[in-house]
Amino acid sequence: MINNALSNKRRPRILVGASGSVDILSLPSYLSAIKIGIDCDLTVLMTPSAVSFLPASSIALYADRVICGELPTDWPTDKPSRIVADHDVLLVLPATANTLSQAAQGAAPNRLTTVILAANFPVLFFPVMGAVMWEKSAVQRNVSQLREDGYQVIEPVWHENYDASLKRMVGHPSLPTPDHVLELLKAILQ
């Protein structure tokens, strides 16, 4: 259920939680699709590992607000309970195996997982990882646990990419298209 305030035609407040994966490099196209497709306030919450792949200053070009880091001095404005109160939905995009595991276990070692645990609104996970990791029993248990706990875990789309380190094409679970993510988000917000 979305807050009653949304029914009063307030702009939806969308939070995107980005965890550290090479797939974060495509995050700007998702943020652009959301901003073009929905008149919204868009915030991105980046884990420290996400910032190691893509600087927050780059993401800030596509969002209304970017939250990153774990400094206690940021808590007056970026305390997890305040972040939850200021948003209507959370997309964890990309969601790594590590983030899925932490959320499934109710762990909160960083600001993103703390917000997930405190969320009283829909949370959608968009997993990305290597194929071998995705197929592991532990990862599948975590996905099942998240779904049982009421979270939405979106099935990844399989992509073939050239892996320079292996010098061959490999298939791996990845993000759906930005348009598909936008459709899912619009359905949640209705």
**pLDDT tens, 114-129?**
999 999 999 999 999 9
Torsional sign, CA 137, 141, 142, 144: positive
pLDDT per residue as tens digits for the range 36-68 = 999 999 999 999 999 999 999 999 999 999 999
Distances (CA, A) of 35 to 45, 113, 140, 161, 177: 16, 24, 32, 28, 15
In the chain, how many domains are there? 1
Count of CB atoms situated within 10 Å of the CB of 9: 6
Q: Is residue 36, in this structure, part of any structural domain at all?
A: yes
Beta strands in the chain (DSSP E): 13-18, 41-46, 65-68, 89-95, 123-127, 152-153, 157-163, 168-174
Contact 97, 49 (CB under 8 A): no
Q: Is residue 4, in this structure, part of any structural domain at all?
A: no
Q: Is residue 2, in this structure, part of any structural domain at all?
A: no
Q: What is the CATH number of the domain that holds 144?
A: 3.40.50.1950
Q: Is residue 25, in this structure, part of any structural domain at all?
A: yes
Q: Is residue 6, in this structure, part of any structural domain at all?
A: no
More confident residue, 75 or 129: 129
Q: Is residue 5, in this structure, part of any structural domain at all?
A: no
| Mean pLDDT in residue range 157-175 | 83
In the numeric block, which tokens belong to residue 187?
């359905």
The reported pLDDT for the residue numbered 8 is: 57
pTM: 0.90
The reported pLDDT for the residue numbered 5 is: 46
Contact 45, 115 (CB under 8 A): yes
User: Mean of the per-residue pLDDT values for the chain?
Assistant: 91
Q: Is residue 1, in this structure, part of any structural domain at all?
A: no
> What is the distance between the alpha carbons of residues 96 and 103, in angstroms, rounded to a whole number?
11
The reported pLDDT for the residue numbered 1 is: 44
Domain carrying residue 145: 11-189
Q: Is residue 3, in this structure, part of any structural domain at all?
A: no
